[in-house]
């Protein structure tokens, strides 16, 4: 006799709902980041050596453009977009709340 108020059926449904929640929130993050940010990159560019290399390349391009009396190039984008990061944190919080709700609902437990 099982002492737990759930069985294999509830566990399977809970896992299915958890997977669907993960897929839904991942798609939501991609859609929001694409719609609300110009640079939807969630990570910085490489390590510190990669960043220094890109800054050095930019300095060379800027010096060459200044010497040739051309317009100066735009600086490189090295850091992640802050709006995209904030959206990522908010969607992650939504995913965690969904998972807690699924766990509580499928196990027929309360927060007490």
Cα distance between residue 82 and residue 86, in whole Å: 6
What per-residue confidence (pLDDT) applies to 48?
A: 81
What per-residue confidence (pLDDT) applies to 22?
A: 94
What per-residue confidence (pLDDT) applies to 11?
A: 84
In the block, residue with structure tokens 């990669």: 50
With 0-12 / 13-18 / 19 or more C-beta atoms within 10 angstroms meaning exposed / middle / buried, residue 27 is: exposed
Q: Return all residues near 61 (Cβ < 8 A) that are at least 6 apart.
A: 73
Mean per-residue pLDDT pooled into runs of 10, the chain (112 residues): 71 91 92 78 75 89 91 83 85 94 80 64
Q: Return all residues near 81 (Cβ < 8 A) that are at least 6 apart.
A: 33, 37, 38, 39, 40, 41, 42
What per-residue confidence (pLDDT) applies to 61?
A: 92
């Amino acid at each position: 006799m099982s002492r737990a108020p759930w069985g294999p059926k509830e566990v399977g449904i809970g896992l299915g709902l958890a997977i669907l929640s993960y897929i839904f929130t991942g798609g939501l993050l991609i859609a929001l980041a694409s719609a609300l940010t110009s640079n939807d990159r969630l990570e910085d560019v490489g390590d510190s050596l990669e960043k220094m290399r890109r800054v050095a390349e930019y300095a060379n391009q800027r010096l060459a453009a200044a010497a040739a009396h051309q317009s100066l190039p735009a600086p490189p984008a090295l850091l992640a977009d802050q709006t995209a990061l904030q959206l990522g944190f908010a969607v992650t919080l939504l995913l965690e709340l969904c998972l807690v709700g699924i766990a509580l609902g499928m196990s027929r437990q309360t927060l007490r």
